[in-house]
Amino acid sequence: MFHEFADEYGPEKVVYIYEPRSGLKGIVVIDNIAAGPAIGGIRMAADVTTAEVFRLARAMTWKNALAGLRHGGGKAGILADPHTPNKETLIRQFARGIEALEGYIPGPDMGTDETAMAWVRDEIGRSVGLSKVLGGIPLDQVGATGFGIAICGEVAQEFSEIGLEGARVAVQGFGNVGQHAARFLAERGAVLTVASDLDGTVFDPDGIDIEELVRLKLETGQVTVYPRGRKLGRDAFIDLDCDILVPAARPDVIDETNAARIKAKVILQGANIPVTPMAERILHGRGILSVPDFVANAGGVICASVEYQGGTQKQAFETIEEKVRENTREILELARAHSQMPTEAALTLAKQRVSEAMAYRRRG
Ligand code: NAD
């Protein structure tokens, strides 16, 4: 039930959308709109849960506030396999279901992309993460989130013993975020040694050829077809030696049962909520620098907000660089000054900003 998630920040509105004939089951959580209409992705997955959508919506509230965007946080979920032949029908129907929810601007997330966003725009006239022909900045294609993660890594090296030059990087979830994070980190001297997806893990301590792996993943959908290195199970990344870990798949993959085994010294959270609160404490106790999702992966939503205001790709990258660099430094400095976990420092700052924005709203 939603009341277990309700607090002084939200959610503002929760809408369930059900269409028995097509089988559409969707949920929209508009968490907080004090800073402006909520931007957040539509996640399409066969196992997406209501609780997941609530938590992701809140993560967007913090992320958008920290990034200083004129947007609040929200998220949507469609309970369906993203490979269903029915996808366009479901997305279009869902879009019509959210037409009146003007406080929510949908963007892409797992299982949706710029094509899905084009269908949404066609139905209701608003969405972000559109393709270039529709005047958008295709944030997954250009690698907005991965770029932000690399900028975050640049700042993190000033606060840890790990420099990017020669750093061994493990990417869990070699999808849009993971691939571009690997690319942009490699441009800064790092070496991809571990990459995983739903089917398994490839581990090559000599370095994985990122372009080759991207091509193979595109052609076959699997990283394990990579011709070199060792092939291991899906969760092998937990125990593999590396310097930087980028979890870029699903929530809660690092929890209290495995946090003690992580080998990385720096974690740049690409996925949303990939580390549980308990695991954050374990990692912090072990001296591992874990940069929270709503700081590290803000590149995508910053790009979306620049697109929404009619900006160019160049402006989007400049804005991502400026905001992610500034935010990461501010949070890591705060965390250091108060001997806090970065996630605590980030949350304190985000709450302050949301509360300030809420103070401008009409009461009652
Ligand atoms: P994607 O679907 O392109 O990629 C996800 C990848 O993770 C796929 O290769 C999939 O095979 C793999 N995967 C799924 N479950 C896995 C598991 N249990 N173990 C290993 N691999 C697994 O999705 P994406 O757009 O890259 O998003 C990834 C994560 O990043 C999501 O949590 C998303 O919410 C978050 N995120 C995305 C963006 C963005 O710009 N796309 C922005 C911020 C946050």
CA-based R_g, the chain, Å? 19
Alpha-carbon span 242 to 238, nearest angstrom: 10
pLDDT band at 361 (very low <50, low <70, confident <90, very high): confident
CATH number at residue 150: 3.40.50.720
Q: 202 with 344, same domain?
A: yes
Examine the pLDDT at 252 and tell me if it is beyond 90. yes
Its pTM stands at 0.93
Q: 132 with 148, same domain?
A: no
Phi and psi dihedrals of 235, rounded to 5? -100, 15
In a domain, 358, yes or no: no
Q: Which residues, at least 6 apart from 143, have a Cβ–Cβ distance to it below 8 Å? A: 176, 179, 180, 183, 184
Q: What angle do CA 47, 49, 55 make, to 5 degrees?
A: 135
In a domain, 323, yes or no: no
Q: 153 with 262, same domain?
A: yes
Using the mean position of ligand 1's atoms as its centre, give its distance from the Cα of residue 360 in Å. 36
Q: What is the pLDDT of residue 186?
A: 98
Residues with active-site annotation = 75
pLDDT in tens, 282-308: 999 999 999 999 999 999 999 999 999
Q: 56 with 205, same domain?
A: no
pLDDT in tens, 59-114: 999 999 999 999 999 999 999 999 999 999 999 999 999 999 999 999 999 899 99
Q: 209 with 122, same domain?
A: no
Nearest-atom number in ligand 1 for the CA of 249 is 7
Do the beta carbons of residue 354 and residue 34 sit within 8 Å?
Answer: yes
Residue ID of nearest Cα to ligand 1 atom 7: 173
Nearest-atom number in ligand 1 for the CA of 273 is 32
pLDDT band at 250 (very low <50, low <70, confident <90, very high): confident
Q: What is the pLDDT of residue 138?
A: 87
Q: 152 with 212, same domain?
A: yes
CA proximity to 215, closest of 227, 203, 231:
227
Domain boundary among 120, 138, 156: 138
In a domain, 112, yes or no: yes
Q: 78 with 99, same domain?
A: yes
Using the mean position of ligand 1's atoms as its centre, give its distance from the Cα of residue 296 in Å. 14
Examine the pLDDT at 343 and tell me if it is beyond 60. yes
In a domain, 234, yes or no: yes
Listing DSSP states for 200-224 in one string gives EEEE-TT---HHHHHHHHHHHS-ST
pLDDT in tens, 43-62: 999 999 989 999 999 999 99
In a domain, 325, yes or no: no
Name the helix (H) or strand (E) containing 135.
none
Residue ID of nearest Cα to ligand 1 atom 9: 175
CATH number at residue 87: 3.40.50.10860
Using the mean position of ligand 1's atoms as its centre, give its distance from the Cα of residue 146 in Å. 11
pLDDT band at 39 (very low <50, low <70, confident <90, very high): very high
Q: 249 with 174, same domain?
A: yes
Using the mean position of ligand 1's atoms as its centre, give its distance from the Cα of residue 339 in Å. 31
In a domain, 321, yes or no: no
Mean of the pLDDT values across residues 3-7? 81
In a domain, 178, yes or no: yes
Mean pLDDT taken over the chain: 95
Alpha-carbon span 195 to 240, nearest angstrom: 11
Domain boundary among 91, 123, 138: 138
Q: 187 with 88, same domain?
A: no
Mean of the pLDDT values across residues 221-226? 97
Cis peptide before 11 (omega within 30 of 0): yes
Residue ID of nearest Cα to ligand 1 atom 36: 271
Nearest-atom number in ligand 1 for the CA of 145 is 40
Quote the domain boundaries for residue 15.
Answer: 2-63+72-138
Alpha-carbon span 240 to 217, nearest angstrom: 21
Q: 170 with 277, same domain?
A: yes
Domain boundary among 85, 108, 138: 138
Q: 199 with 337, same domain?
A: yes
To test the pocket of ligand 1, the residue of 44, 53, 198 to mutate (highest count of ligand atoms within 8 Å of its CB) is 198
By CB atoms closer than 10 A (0-12, 13-18, 19+), residue 135 is exposed
pLDDT band at 2 (very low <50, low <70, confident <90, very high): low
By CB atoms closer than 10 A (0-12, 13-18, 19+), residue 13 is middle
Q: 115 with 153, same domain?
A: no
Q: What is the pLDDT of residue 4?
A: 77
Q: Which protein residues touch ligand 1 with a CB less than 6 Å away?
A: 109-110, 139-140, 145, 172-178, 196-198, 234, 248-250, 270-272, 297, 300
Residue ID of nearest Cα to ligand 1 atom 42: 300
Examine the pLDDT at 1 and tell me if it is beyond 60. no
Nearest-atom number in ligand 1 for the CA of 108 is 41
If one counts the domains in the chain, the total is: 2
In a domain, 212, yes or no: yes
To test the pocket of ligand 1, the residue of 56, 177, 258 to mutate (highest count of ligand atoms within 8 Å of its CB) is 177
